[in-house]
Chains A and B, each alone.
Chain A
Amino acid sequence: MKAEPTTQELRKLVADFRPGRGHVMPALHRIQDTYGYITRKAIEVVARQLNTTPALVYGTVSFYDDFRTEPPPETEIKWCSGPACHMRGGDRIRRALEAELNMPMGGHSDDHRYGLHLGQCNGTCHEAPQVWVNEKVVGNLSVVDAIHLARRVKGSE
């Protein structure tokens, strides 16, 4: 896990964004791509850079499930919520993962070792239903596969 970014680092990172040009989302994406998540300090820095309020930026961050405000877990399972996965039983995969990992969608283990997040379809639908484990596709899942996957991630198997 990376150290929390400092104010100076954050300011530098978003220095080229300008107020009033719809730069909130790109600035947030850049921060998340760089540090893996968006700290409170980062929200304040973006707000200052774009001459808006932290509340407005936070409203945006909290609206999109893509943005996270906590460091990502070491191992992250992203569950695809797309239509193809849905048609091929993705919901059952989700329930299996949630039950086995003992966490709701968006949760993570207390020690930040693993977590479960919502993903958006990335076009690899031929392997539906699928999840991504640290961005690597694990597809054609059955419920049993999902349970084994969850156990492996937990380290209980």
Chain B
Amino acid sequence: MATLTVDGQTIEAPEGAPLVEVLKNNGFYISSLCYIDGLKPYAGCRTCLVDIEGPPGLQLSCTAVVQDGMSVQTSTEEVKEARRAVLSVILATHSDRCLTCHRREHCHPGDICLRDDVVTHRCLTCSKNYRCELQATCEMVGMSGYEPWVGETRSWYTMPHPPADRANPFMEFDPQMCIICTRCQRACEEKRHTGAITLSGKGWDTRIAFGAGGAIDESNCDFSGACIDVCPTAALMEHPNKWVAKPDEWTSTTCDSCAVGCSIMLGSREGRGVIVRPGDGNAFSGDQICVRGRYHYDSLKPRERLQQHQVRRGPIQVPATIDEAVSQAASALKAAAQKGPVGVLVGQTVTNEEALLAKTIAADALGTKADSSQGPVVRAAKEALEERLGTWRMATDATNIPTAKGIVVVQDDIEESHNVMSVRIKDAAVHQHAQVIVISSLRSELVDFATTWIRPAGGEEGQAADLLARALNGENVDDPDIQQAVEQLNGVTREETFVVCAPNPVSPRVSADMAGGAANVATALFGQEASEHLIVLPPQVNTYGLLDAGLLDSSTANALSDLSGLLVIREDPTMHIPGAAEALERLNALVVIDNVLSETAKAATVTIAEGRAYASAGTYTQGDFRVQVLTPATLPEGDAVPLFGALKALAGALDLQVPDDPDAALGVIAKANPAYMPAWDMLVGEGVRLEVPGSGTAKMVPVSAAARTGDGLQIVTGRDLYTAADAAALRHPEAEKLHRYDRIQVSEEDAERLGINDEDEIEISDGTTVVRAPATVTERVKEGTVFVSSLLQGGIVSEFLDADGNLPRVRAGALTPA
């Protein structure tokens, strides 16, 4: 620790720390329009000037570092004047009338400008007004009335400005607001490793540009919005909330869209989500989230969600009060139980506490075990792990990934399925020059960071991993990529090497093979310590919480078609179980608790409307056994109630005793499973990793050859980055707003052979199931395969699953225009 004096005050800070950060964290105001905390200084804006005793002149506090005994002045007249001078130069490329106007405080929206400024040139009409860093900086630096150029024409007002890019559903770029601080470019490059932004041109004509110079959505931008978070002006803003995001409350909660479990800050207005920013206190996600975390609060409009409880009267469903709905649900389920078995299916975005209630209802009132529609695929991976490592709970702490020296990734496309994990793997590739071995048939963006890309046939990632494991064990494997991977992995220390696997979310067979192959690689690399170096990311945010709660454990004894009644909690079996729609028709009772009118809800006897996960209090158990808190950030729509409340009411109607609130439920969970004790004491946002002991055992079990059925192109699938699961349950045409994945992806080679062009309406068929969608011809897909997103047309790809959990080969062809 070094001691330094700032404006006469003594403070302590680590020697060598960036001065600007130390000053800000100690409450000194420093304008710093180009600095991004934690990144290398750019030193472009020169607004961070301070006076450091010793060297002549003023210094930039972003390039200066803390030294013991240093003395800093941050607000002498000289410093202030210098900052005003540099700021006035920056303002020459910005609409600056309001920023320097001495009457600013008196102005309110709708007032007439006394200086007669054009309305569009004023902060008062800017979408960033009152939350603008440039504006705040001008305020703090005292630009009011500072107009040395009076009488001259300010160049910004005479410049032609390129048009704003409003072509995509997520992000707007308005170049006329840009002050070329380059923060967005550096955030995209250094925080995301995407590099979608560049400075184009030179000199006075320098501008921010995306990709190859076209619209944002034509570039490789993945809409994480890391650039928006750092932009000090209105140049880069979210599209959906550009003008409306004035939240009256910010709540720290957890993203519900994948098992990475990033922390988010959800801003709400009158109980409705209006904006999301990355949260804090999350050791893994840090200040990053992905497009799902940032925008899926808005995946459906409020009126598109269920607002009323409904009970069936003959062919129609009529609105009901919660009491009516719950008591009818209870009696319908009890009556159904008289006639045969009743099942319970739980979606994997329900919290641990809600799962406890679901489990209690299933066991104590309905005499069954709660499962999930994705149960088979989850169990397949779980059993593959248990067979080899004696456990499905991996002891690996994911926060090791960014500093790893070697990483093997067994994936469909982790960039898309678990985005921020991909960012952290790229951290290791860029900063540690880690050896990154990617095993995937899809060309994911992570491939650009791989030292070796092993590209097996589609759906055979598990087999390829198994081959790598055998090669690591010294077997002679005649494959140059695998040999290269072995060499690279043998060049780095085992301690700093990890295996990351995201098993397929649709095909149980592929899922088991991937988890099994990854476990074999871990065993070959780490022996008995395999479970301490392997991370297996499940298909959804709380899959592991449900497994820990003992849900999903054994398959519901009966197939859907043998059931008499079914209780479905925030999920839609028609998206995951082949033939589910017909089976539902035959049930005596179908009770659905959900926030969207899914295909299943449409067939329900009783529907209880709930708020989505963002209305819940509770906890999630993430892919690396970190428990994250959910704090209610939005209110359920209309009559809907938070899911815990709905389940509690139903339990009451079934004469069950259940914990009163989520906190009490967590207490019950923690008493039954002491690993959850620390979670019970946890503070919001912070998250806590559960104690998972290493298994201490590992054996390699070969992954058998992939079973192939049918002929034509092998179907491969996976979770795509953009589709919103709840909107997909509604079969909403805008479930994927970019319209990249509501298509069937075909390889360039097959497209040429089959005469398929981009945008052609095509059909794939295995003789029974037929799917039609426009084609996208892309190098992402390997020859001989077609990619269908797991959420395309409400998960239609699962209709192709056979009894062994395999996906078939299909015939593909363009439909001749009518």
The chain A residues found within 8 Å of chain B, CB to CB, are 40-41, 43-44, 47, 51-59, 61-63, 69
Contacts and interface: CB of A to CB of B under 8 A. Distances in A.
A119 B430 CA distance: 39
A59 B218 contact: no
A56 B198 contact: yes
B212 A59 contact: no
Contacts of A44: 211-212
Contacts of B201: 62-63
Contact of A58 (B194, B211, B448): B211
B209 A54 contact: no
Contacts of B214: 40
A37 to B, nearest CB: 12
A84 B198 CA distance: 35
9 contacts: A40-B213, A44-B211, A53-B220, A55-B198, A55-B210, A57-B212, A59-B209, A63-B201, A69-B213
A54 B211 contact: yes
Interface in B241-256: none
A52 B194 CA distance: 10
A52 B195 CA distance: 9
A59 B211 contact: no
Contacts of B210: 55
A26 to B, nearest CB: 18
B332 to A, nearest CB: 57
A89 B143 CA distance: 44
B557 interface: no
A55 to B, nearest CB: 4
Contact of A53 (B196, B199, B218): B196
B399 interface: no
B212 A58 contact: yes
Contacts of A52: 195
Nearest to A8: B748
Given A40-B212, A55-B211, A59-B200, 7 more contacts: A44-B211, A51-B448, A54-B211, A55-B212, A55-B220, A62-B209, A63-B202
A58 B220 contact: no
Contact of B196 (A51, A55, A62): A55
A54 B448 contact: no
B197 interface: yes
A63 B203 CA distance: 9
B202 A58 contact: no
Instruction: Name the 4 nearest CB pairs between A and B, nearest first.
Output: A53-B195, A62-B200, A59-B198, A43-B212
B219 interface: yes
A41 B219 CA distance: 11
A75 B576 CA distance: 61
Contacts of A61: 213
Nearest to A44: B212
B648 to A, nearest CB: 51
A58 B218 contact: no
Interface in B171-208: 194-202
A14 B265 CA distance: 46
Nearest to B196: A55
B603 to A, nearest CB: 46
Contacts of A69: 213
A47 B198 CA distance: 13
A69 B210 CA distance: 15
Contacts of A58: 198, 200, 209, 211-213
Given A53-B195, A55-B195, A43 B202 contact: no
A40 B448 CA distance: 20
Contacts of B195: 52-53, 55-56
Interface string B721-734: 00000000000000
Nearest to A59: B198
B779 to A, nearest CB: 8
A41 B214 CA distance: 11
Contacts of A54: 196, 211-212, 219-220
A136 to B, nearest CB: 29
A94 to B, nearest CB: 17
Nearest to A51: B448
Contact of B213 (A51, A53, A62): A62
**Which of B202, B211, B214, B219 has the largest number of chain A CB atoms within 10 A?**
B211
A61 B211 CA distance: 12
Contacts of B218: 40
Nearest to A64: B202
Contacts of A59: 198-200, 209
Contacts of B209: 55, 58-59, 62
A121 B214 CA distance: 31
Contacts of A40: 211-214, 218
Contacts of A53: 194-196, 198, 211, 220
Nearest to B779: A48
With a 10 A CB-CB cut-off, give which of B202, B213, B214, B219 has the most chain A CB atoms.
Answer: B213
Most buried by A among B197, B200, B209: B200
B451 to A, nearest CB: 12
B425 to A, nearest CB: 17
B448 A55 contact: no
Contacts of A41: 212
A53 to B, nearest CB: 4
Name the residue in A44, A51, A62 with the highest tally of chain B Cβ atoms < 10 Å from its Cβ.
A62
Interface in B691-708: none
B324 to A, nearest CB: 58
Highest count of chain B CB atoms <10 Å: which of A41, A47, A58, A61: A58
A62 B214 CA distance: 12
A39 to B, nearest CB: 8
A55 B219 contact: yes
A134 B218 CA distance: 33
Contacts of A55: 195-198, 209-212, 219-220
Interface string B262-275: 00000000000000
Contacts of B194: 53
Nearest to B188: A55
B540 to A, nearest CB: 31
Contacts of B448: 51
Nearest to A55: B198
A61 B201 CA distance: 8
A51 B429 CA distance: 14
A68 to B, nearest CB: 12
B452 to A, nearest CB: 14
A43 B220 CA distance: 12
A68 B199 CA distance: 17
A54 B202 CA distance: 18
Contacts of A51: 448
A132 B427 CA distance: 50
A63 B209 CA distance: 12
Contacts of B197: 55
A62 B213 CA distance: 9
Contacts of B213: 40, 43, 58, 61-62, 69
B753 to A, nearest CB: 14
Nearest to B211: A54
Residue with the highest number of chain B CB atoms closer than 10 Å, among A41, A55, A57, A63: A55
A54 B197 CA distance: 9
Contacts of A62: 198, 200-201, 209, 213
Nearest to A39: B212
Contacts of B199: 59
B200 to A, nearest CB: 4
A125 to B, nearest CB: 26
Nearest to B185: A55
A8 to B, nearest CB: 8
Interface in B276-320: none
B178 to A, nearest CB: 15
Contacts of A43: 211-213
A122 B691 CA distance: 72
A63 B207 CA distance: 11
A20 B711 CA distance: 42
A54 B194 CA distance: 10
A57 B219 CA distance: 12
Contacts of B196: 53-55
